[in-house]
Amino acid sequence: MIEIKHKRMFEKLEQYNQIKNDLPEVSINSYRQAFELDYTHNSTAIEGNTLTLLETKVVLEEGLSIGGKQLRELYEVINHNKAYQYVKRCITDGHLLNEKIIKDIHAILMETIMTGGIYRHVDVYISGAEHTPPSPSDMYAQIKAFYMDLVEKVFDNPIECAAWTHAEFVKIHPFVDGNGRTSRLIMNYQLMANGLLPISIKKESRLEYFNTIEAYAVKGDLSFFENMIAVLEEEQLDKYLSMSRSKF
């Protein structure tokens, strides 16, 4: 039965599941490659990385350095792509999202930048945000509860699950740096593990994105972020459905 929430999106998901095995392999591989490039570019750009989409492509696909850019920016895009490949492998192997995987994701993101996969022991603040992440002592209790909820919490649908996983994790902000990139990766982990397509939040949409995250952090209202994810998921499904129509 299709969920009442996001009904149109789930109807398109049913259509996609019916035709996905018949889609042209060349088109699928080409689009997935383009998506992964776009995803890495946008997820790092949201956090301030200044590489353009074309520069990101040159770094990832040709292994070239970019003059005038900080080494950290180059490592950010390289590491993000590595972390996404790790996410895909974990899902293919049938692993449910857990603490080890999240720490591994963060460690990959932080390679050559800082030691990753270690929870912070200092206070952190998010500039421009009303929400202040918990102090280390409270953070440890909250992150422990987060991992318990990953196993025990019941969601209405996989969109809500992905939205909550991202929003709750970034609200806790367990790492000194890299929480945003990690949260977007585990959001996509939950989507893909539940049979949906990964999404990319455009850097141009970051104000709306930050506002939806803030609505959850301050008011506990997940609906705005959940709706944002559902819209992006529907756009992804439309891409794949159009590939089917183009065959005829």
Between CA 148 and CA 151 the distance in angstroms is 5
* Predicted local confidence at residue 187, as pLDDT: 98
pTM of the model: 0.95
Tell me if the domain spanning 23-242 has CATH number 1.10.3290.10: yes
Is 173 considered catalytic here?
Answer: yes
Rounded to 10°, the helix 179-193/99-109 angle is 130
Between CA 169 and CA 24 the distance in angstroms is 37
Q: Which residue has the tokens 């050559």?
A: 112
Exactly one of 41, 106, 166, 173 is catalytic; which is it? 173
Residue type, 59: V
* Predicted local confidence at residue 94, as pLDDT: 97
* Predicted local confidence at residue 248, as pLDDT: 47
- Identify the sign of the CA torsion 217, 223, 224, 225: positive
82-112 as b/e: b if 16+ CB within 10 A:
bbbebbbebbeeeeebeeebbbbbbbbbbee
List average pLDDT for each run of 10 residues in the chain, which is 248 residues long. 75 96 93 97 97 96 85 97 98 98 98 97 91 96 98 95 98 98 98 98 97 97 97 97 73
Between CA 106 and CA 183 the distance in angstroms is 10
DSSP classification of residue 194: T
* Predicted local confidence at residue 133, as pLDDT: 96
